[in-house]
Amino acid sequence: MMLVFVLRHTVKTDTMAPPCGGERPLWPTPTVNQCQSNMATRWGICSAGKISNDFTVALKTLPPGDHQVVAVAARKLENAQEFAKKHSIPRAYGGYEALARDPDIDVVYIGVIHPYHLSTCLLFMNAKKNVLCEKPLAMNAKEAKQILASAKENDVFFMEAVWTRFFPASVEIRRLLAQGEIGEVKMVRSEFGVPLHHVPRAIQKELGGGTMLDLGIYCLQLTCMVYNGEKPESIHAMGTCLETGVDDTEVVTLKFSNNRMAVFTSSSDIELLNDAVIVGTKGAIRIPEHMWCPTSLVVNGKETKYPVPEPYLPLNFINSTGMRYEAEEVRQCLLKGLKESAVMSHADSLLLAEVEDEVRRQIGVVYSQDSQ
């Protein structure tokens, strides 16, 4: 019998990721006078739903001198007022237009469901507001291109809120890969599956339902991050669909240059192991659980933990205080006058949308937005 020992170590995660994706700077760093680092980043929250609740809780784990929530907007004023009372937010608006007109907002967090991302993003960016928009960015690549074009036309900062990329564990993955800790990566395997048939937004087409856009995107973004934003040479997807016409379970195989591969499984029907492994010629990096919000890594047999802060209010989703890391990335980018993050760039978002489109095409999922 061979005994395998796993070494454990815990890393403090008080510090943020390298400012605005230190791995790949897009523009020169401006002078200190341009940064105004002594002022808090003033957030507006668009939507008073579950994910907006968790994002607001996550912001409160950061120093109040750096981040302040100054307003929230919901379609119904009473919902905004209830949210504002719960989170001690000074202003509540009924309707998103009022939030877009608020002159005291530096950046808007958009937490509406994704069929409304296009119209909501355009509303705020046309009002010259910086935007952090929840994933998936859009219903398809055509909408994603419209959003990204608007960001450039309006000269505002924009980022898709792929929060996973900013977790300390993800920062460490990029560092390990850059240093060649596991040699040349040859395979990325990941899976994310949880039973969601009881959740209307997960299964109804008009609400943007479907596993690829909701869960599979996390596996896809990990693959794209590991392979440094490279476009796959081939994509093969197989899956099943619900009677509502949305994808339920899928297995996707991606082939990249130099015979590097990736495979992921996502499902809204069954609970999967929800882990991931990156295999190279000299070893492996394993995310043992919750691969979409990782708090531990096992690197060549040694486990290191990266705990997230405790929330001050109950959360709707696991490890949601980890959204603090993407919020701090936004602040650092704004302080430097950047219009996009090097860690989750506009090109990264477009690549995700294009691969998602192809996966849906092969499985047979068509949204009304695809014909508009």
**What confidence category does residue 33 fall into, taking pLDDT thresholds of 50, 70 and 90?**
very low
* pLDDT surpasses 70 at 19: no
Residues 230-242, mean pLDDT to the nearest whole number: 98
pLDDT at 38: 78
Nearest 5 degrees, angle CA 358-CA 341-CA 369? 35
Q: What are phi and psi of 263, to 5 degrees?
A: -140, 135
Looking at the DSSP bridge assignments, the partners of residue 110 are 46, 133
Lowest mean pLDDT among 20-24, 169-173, 210-214: 20-24
Residues 308-324, mean pLDDT to the nearest whole number: 98
**CA atoms within 13 Å, Cβ hemisphere of 139:** 22
What are the tokens at 63? 């120093």
Residue 163 backbone class (left: φ over 0; alpha: ψ -120 to 50; beta: rest): alpha
User: Under CATH, to which class is 41-163 assigned?
Assistant: alpha beta
What is the value of pTM for the model shown? 0.91
Strand segments (E) across 212-353: 234-241, 247-256, 260-267, 276-280, 283-287, 296-299, 302-305
CA 99 to chain centre: 23
Residues 151-174, mean pLDDT to the nearest whole number: 98
Which pLDDT tens digit goes with each residue over 259-297?
999 999 999 999 999 999 999 999 999 999 999 999 999
| In the chain, where the domains are located | 41-163, 168-305+345-371
pLDDT at 32: 31
C-alpha span between 100 and 110 (Å, rounded): 12
Same fold for the domain at 41-163 and the one at 168-305+345-371? no
SS (H, E, C) 173-201: HHHHHHCCCCCCEEEEEEEEECCCCCCHH
pLDDT at 20: 54
What are the residues whose beta carbons fall under 8 Å from the beta carbon of 174, sequence distance 6 or more? Answer: 23, 225
Q: How far is CA 179 from CA 7, 174, 222, in A?
A: 21, 9, 18
* pLDDT surpasses 90 at 61: yes
Helix (H) or strand (E) holding 91: strand 91-94
CA dihedral 54, 135, 252, 221 (to 10 degrees): -90
In CATH terms, the fold of domain 168-305+345-371 is Dihydrodipicolinate Reductase; domain 2 (3.30.360)
